[in-house]
Structure 1
């Protein structure tokens, strides 16, 4: 009798749980695990394709007789395109479903990657065509993370969002590492074109698998229904930005995004100039290898504590403290000149890079707490600001290095930006839903 009651209770709980997933339009857990794996692979391929041009830039510059200014214009074209489609990609995902937007955009940028070597040989205007191809890559890849934010808010329960976003961010670092390894082999054994063909082909294969296994036959949940009062508009976005939790989140994300881009852009130069006899692969690989387990562990711990009953708002702030506050402490140590050996510099900066990944379960997921009905568009807006400010701060860092002849000025700038953004988020940040109030 007791066994029958127990079986009935388990069946009833399971039935209720499945009914909750259907009513809230969430992925069932088996499907969520499959999507998490596929999105992780997709993020990895996204960064492989994104870093293909930078890896091949030196060889291409020698082939096509580009100057440093020419190379900079080609590489910089990506970020202008990347800023352009952030909001549009988030809005489309909120309306149509992030799964479909990701599939379409990935297919297009995969084909663009494969076509890049062909465009280079198409005419004598190689320089202009490469700028166009690079900008188009930015336009097509700009929708990825806003779509991911929209998916996370619509398909994943609150207690599992941190791990999903952390897993996706760890895929970024793995993709960067794989592209570097593949590039080293292919540039030595084959031509620069093979790198574009390889990453493009793998990305097309990912799209085919997603279509065959997840999208064919419309097996994904439909996008969330939104009333006319909750539909995304510019006036509604401006109303949301007047809310202290929203604008503090946007500002903190902008700060951590531009400091992370600055570290990624300038760390190889810092190590090469400060420690010219050090082995290059160590400082090009170790910080990003550290970031992968750090991102995964941060997401796991965050979700575990939320499921244990800890405040979501407190978790977001704690994770952001480690991402911006604790990481800045390790960076600022290098300003004093006390730790000047290569090993100590590599250790402190690797820890700092690892800690910055905690933002994936801080402000990066906070947008889904505050405004799930338009999480994609709002994330696109703040990611656009982060990308643009990253361009500004990266350029400003180069100016400071040139004028002061000291890396301490750059590390101090990173620390100042991080502390400012963190302080505002700790004071004004929250995790209570606000999109129903506007």
Structure 2
């Protein structure tokens, strides 16, 4: 069924921007244009997907202290288990992004969710399977990283293909805020479940919810969809300095975020043993949700007024520069309320990256945003696993957290400096994607 472009514009004027449409015909397939209710349904589903993704990812860091006591792990052992996730996370980033660019991100998201749901639910069974618990848990985290590595490149691919430029920042921030809600739920409900039902219950419940989400995606959003995209030689984009600046900044931001996610529960547990667990496991991520939305709104506000490059610099300056100013004081002696305030401010400000580098990849390379974002995440994961494991070693050897927080600050400052010098918002894509794609969310 085909409809003329002007007829669709008259019936749904706010649905789509017609700046980009197929160059071969004035007729556009109706199956490519979901109504506004379908667009809202996709956004809600993707928001819930990022929420469950981080619930599953944070299950091990939240349970690490209890599992270390049960299985007699040292800090180095815990660092190996926590770092195993990022080794797997590195491997599937480019593959997942490229597959999303070719066959559609929704299919890749379904495969990802199904895989991580099974691995999460099976983690307690593996832990009690034999005497090699440390090795089995490291393998489980490695497989978890493989299954989740394709998720965010798929989101970047979907957003670049289906969302108009002036609304990507807020949409990506909305979806990214699901990660903070997931971290919040994992920290809050996980603390209660640990006390009442044991650490195994957390893995079982999160695995079940993730599997349910994958089933809903299959039944409601995936059946009957079709996708066809052309091959794009995206590797030659690496000759452009703005691309490398974006990759380096994202790599630094990811690695420091992964370190905080992995070790903050242990930091508060050891530094303030009598503090209430739900406060430091919930409050920072509760603060991050509105902060992410504000960052996305500011990014879109500036872009819609023609100052895209300034919006990128502002967002990344707050995400990496100002946030580090609140991380560095943790190197000294602080009280529990002060530590919570510093972490809330730092975590909240890091969410501004959703309106910065995360959107920049869609502006620079819209035809292969998923694949390039996958490369960025792969590099961030590689450095992240080194930083997470190195942090465990430094804590064990020095018996101090100051070195870790100083290292995080240094990495952030380096990434920000490179992006400010070499970064930019100029499009360096090889093809005009207006000849191949139509934006269909708004």
TM surpasses 0.5: yes
Pick aligned residue for 2:163 from 156, 167, 175: 156
CA contact (8 A) 1:26 1:155 kept: no
Pick aligned residue for 1:303 from 291, 300, 303: 300
1:32-47 aligned within 5 A? 32-47=39-54
Q: Distance in 2 between matches of 1:74 and 1:9?
A: 53
Other-structure match for 1:256: 253
Q: Distance in 2 between matches of 1:297 and 1:84?
A: 32
- Structure 1 residues 140, 405: CA separation in 2 closer, same or farther (over 3 Å shift)? closer
Q: Name the stretch that deviates more: 293-302 or 9-18.
A: 9-18
3-state DSSP of counterpart to 2:13: helix
CA contact (8 A) 1:26 1:157 kept: no
CA contact (8 A) 2:82 2:141 kept: yes
- Structure 1 residues 9, 150: CA separation in 2 closer, same or farther (over 3 Å shift)? closer
1:327-406 aligned within 5 A? 327-333=323-329, 340-398=334-392, 400=394
Scaled by the length of structure 2, the TM-score of the pair is: 0.84
3-state DSSP of counterpart to 1:435: coil
CA contact (8 A) 2:62 2:190 kept: yes
3-state DSSP of counterpart to 1:434: coil
Scaled by the length of structure 1, the TM-score of the pair is: 0.84
- Residues 340-378 of structure 1: per-residue CA shift (max 9 Å, x gap): 443333323311211011001101111111111111111
Pick aligned residue for 1:181 from 168, 182, 188: 188
- Residues 118-168 of structure 1: per-residue CA shift (max 9 Å, x gap): 444555655544333322111111111111111111111111111122122
- What are the ranges of 5 or more consecutive residues in structure 1 without an aligned counterpart? 1-7
CA contact (8 A) 1:27 1:155 kept: no
CA RMSD of aligned residues (A): 3.1
- Structure 1 residues 137, 13: CA separation in 2 closer, same or farther (over 3 Å shift)? closer
Q: Distance in 1 between matches of 2:322 and 2:407?
A: 15
Q: Distance in 1 between matches of 2:71 and 2:327?
A: 39
Q: Distance in 2 between matches of 1:43 and 1:241?
A: 29
Instruction: Please state how far the C-alpha of 1:80 moved relative to its aligned partner.
Output: 1.3
- Structure 1 residues 207, 125: CA separation in 2 closer, same or farther (over 3 Å shift)? same
3-state DSSP of counterpart to 1:14: coil
1:321 to 2:309 alignment = no
3-state DSSP of counterpart to 2:425: coil
3-state DSSP of counterpart to 2:430: helix
Aligned residues: 418
- Structure 1 residues 349, 158: CA separation in 2 closer, same or farther (over 3 Å shift)? same
Other-structure match for 1:3: none
Q: Distance in 2 between matches of 1:56 and 1:268?
A: 9
- Residues 74-102 of structure 1: per-residue CA shift (max 9 Å, x gap): 33322211111111111111111000100
Instruction: Please state how far the C-alpha of 1:38 moved relative to its aligned partner.
Output: 0.5
Higher relative contact order (CA 8 A, sep 6+): 2
- Structure 1 residues 67, 433: CA separation in 2 closer, same or farther (over 3 Å shift)? same
CA contact (8 A) 1:21 1:28 kept: no
Other-structure match for 2:418: 424
1:130 to 2:126 alignment = no
